[in-house]
């Protein structure tokens, strides 16, 4: 069975702007993306490209730069690689309905193994990422069933007492907040705004455009 079957079954692609269930690979085959997603509850979707799909975990509190903090990461269905570029609004009533932001993006390298799929099946993967907000070495370790922990290793990029989701809340594609993305796409602005901090940094280099016509700056090194 295709690893994207669950993804396909949960969505009606005539109603949602999400990409279809197509397997593909990037140039490196080692892309990672973190998407901030305001659905029923705000969470962060952590995704690693493995064998033509994005292996995905929902991280309720988002990644932590503090090595002493172990973040719960619930494994969800595989997503297509094209999903890494998805930013917008999933209509209410559809699976995952709400606002999606590309919060971080880059490449990753496995550590201590070349078989990423095998490491995940065994329940532990050590890897390093090179993104705009997240860098350095991390571990994903399974505790039971779909439940994993996402842990930052002690290295140059570790930081105790700093919440990276608060100091860097905006999209790396548009530099917009969830509320601004929702407003531009005609989504639920009030609901999306609950995922933004009280103090929102001023946007730079992006002017308001007509609905659905915002300029995206996409830098792909994968």
* Structure tokens given for 161: 């007492």
Number of domains in the chain: 1
- The per-residue pLDDT for 184 is 85
H/E segment holding residue 192: helix 189-193
- The per-residue pLDDT for 102 is 98
* Structure tokens given for 134: 């997240």
- Domain-located, residue 17: yes
- Domain-located, residue 122: yes
- Domain-located, residue 64: yes
- Domain-located, residue 213: no
Please report the DSSP string for 43-60 in residue order.
EEEEEEEETTEEEEEEET
Backbone region of residue 161 per phi and psi (left: phi > 0; alpha: psi in -120 to 50; beta: other values): left
Around Cβ 220, how many Cβ atoms within 10 Å? 12
CA distances from residue 74 to 59, 62, 113 in whole angstroms, order as listed: 7, 12, 23
- Domain-located, residue 155: yes
**Cα separation of 3 and 125, whole Å?**
19
Q: Which domain holds residue 76?
A: 5-193
**Cα separation of 18 and 168, whole Å?**
25
Residue 91, φ and ψ in degrees, nearest 5 = -60, 145
Digit-by-digit pLDDT tens for the chain (222 residues) are 469 999 999 999 999 999 999 999 999 999 999 999 999 999 999 999 999 999 999 999 999 999 999 999 999 999 999 999 999 999 999 999 999 999 999 999 999 999 999 999 999 999 999 999 999 999 999 999 999 999 999 999 999 999 999 999 999 999 999 999 999 876 566 666 665 543 333 443 344 444 445 555 566 677
- Domain-located, residue 221: no
- The per-residue pLDDT for 222 is 77
- Domain-located, residue 212: no
Q: What are the contacts of 55-61 at 24+ separation with CB within 8 A?
A: 55/120, 57/140, 57/148, 57/150, 59/150, 61/165
- The per-residue pLDDT for 196 is 55
- The per-residue pLDDT for 186 is 66
Question: Measured on CA atoms in the order 139, 140, 141, 147, is the torsion positive or negative?
Answer: positive
Beta strand segments in 51-201, E: 53-59, 70-80, 88-90, 98-111, 124-131, 135-144, 147-152
**Cα separation of 194 and 174, whole Å?**
19
User: Residues, the chain, total?
Assistant: 222
- The per-residue pLDDT for 216 is 58
- Domain-located, residue 135: yes
- The per-residue pLDDT for 202 is 41
- The per-residue pLDDT for 212 is 47
Residue 63, φ and ψ in degrees, nearest 5 = -65, 150
- The per-residue pLDDT for 2 is 66
């Amino acid at each position: 069975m295709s690893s994207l079957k669950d993804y396909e079954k949960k969505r009606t692609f005539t109603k949602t702007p999400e990409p279809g269930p197509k397997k593909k690979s990037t140039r490196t085959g080692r892309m990672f993306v973190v998407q901030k997603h305001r659905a029923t509850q705000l969470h962060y979707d952590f995704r690693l490209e493995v064998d033509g799909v994005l292996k995905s975990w929902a991280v309720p509190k988002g990644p932590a730069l503090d090595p002493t903090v172990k973040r719960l990461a619930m494994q969800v269905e595989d997503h297509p690689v094209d999903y890494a570029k998805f930013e917008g609004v999933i209509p209410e009533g559809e699976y995952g309905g709400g606002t999606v932001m590309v919060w971080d993006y880059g490449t990753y390298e496995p550590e201590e193994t070349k078989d990423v799929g095998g490491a995940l099946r065994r329940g532990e993967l050590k890897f390093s990422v090179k993104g705009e907000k997240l860098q350095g070495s991390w571990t994903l370790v399974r505790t039971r069933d779909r439940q994993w922990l996402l842990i930052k290793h002690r290295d140059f990029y570790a930081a105790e007492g700093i919440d990276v989701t608060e100091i860097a809340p905006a999209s790396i594609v548009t530099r917009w907040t969830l509320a601004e993305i929702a407003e531009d796409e005609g989504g639920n602005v009030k609901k999306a705004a609950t995922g933004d901090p009280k103090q929102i940094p001023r946007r730079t280099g992006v002017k308001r455009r007509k609905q659905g016509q915002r300029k995206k700056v996409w830098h792909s090194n994968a």
